[in-house]
Amino acid sequence: MEKAEDAVLRVSSSTSFYIFTSYLWRNHVECTNHCGEHYFLPYHRDRLVSAAEAFGWTGVTTCIGGDVGMKRLSGIVVDHLKTVCEEEPVCAMRKIKICIYKDNRFHIETTAITPTDSPNVFHLPTNLNEVATLNCHCLVKLDLEPTPASLFTSYKTSERIPYDRARGAADIAHKSPTAAEVLLFNPHGEITECSVSTPYFQRHGRWVTPSLSSGGNAGVTRRLALENGLCEEQTILMESLRHQEIIWISNGVRGFIPATLLLEPLS
């Protein structure tokens, strides 16, 4: 059987392998240079640098690191948006996906987002009593099998097999994260993350999010929540989960979304 470290080296050495991050871009009527509002782009750059360092991509860290690298990355995205906006109808919001390969190749993808898919908030509620009144349209199911921690779970990469498997098992492969998600856990029974989101739970009167030591991804909205004192890190065991408890999930494109956790089928 192939060792985990050998598998990481094999997959990450492929010319088709890349690291990536996704965020929300909001257009402005008065904006003529396609800058618009790039939500937390410096944080997303930091995320890419961390991933590049983890895989030993020194060329990439040099390319996008520091102030010069930030300016270079921003310029690449803006140039792409100029082309897209000339070829496609103008839209108010777009999902921007930045992909970077080991040899410093960049690939930018943009997807138009309708207002109903855009984030309502970029913060967790501070009053836990408000949670009971929330109308949670998003349903989160627990995965059926554990996902071992690896560099592919700690960082956002093109190696999405564990997440695709989990979404398929939950029968949500073609659903938006605003409607359905799946909650992953490691072989030790510790919650790690959702397939494309960071989860947050109410525990003892405060919000907590899974510790990175459990194997999940260090997302940008997770960083924002921690830096602003909206939540704390904590090891969260499967046995602490409650059927139909209200949780929150977040990612860089859709912000923070209230959701209902399902541990068994709804009657």
Domains and CATH numbers, the chain: 4-117 (3.30.470.10), 128-262 (3.20.10.10)
Low-confidence ranges of the chain (pLDDT < 50): 30-33, 118
pLDDT score for 170:
96
pLDDT score for 115:
64
Long-range contacts of 151-155 (CB under 8 A, 24+ apart): 151/8, 151/12, 151/54, 151/55, 152/8, 152/11, 153/192, 153/193, 153/215, 153/216, 153/217, 154/54, 154/212, 154/215, 154/216, 154/217, 154/218, 155/19, 155/50, 155/51, 155/54, 155/55, 155/217, 155/218
**DSSP per residue over 88-135, as a string?**
S---SEEEEEEEEETTS-EEEEEEE--GGGS-S-SS--S-GGGGGG--
pLDDT score for 30:
46
Residue 83 token pair: 């082309």
What is the reported pTM?
Answer: 0.92
pLDDT score for 134:
75
pLDDT score for 37:
86
pLDDT score for 121:
61
**Is 185 exposed, middle or buried, given 0-12, 13-18 or 19+ CB atoms closer than 10 A?**
buried
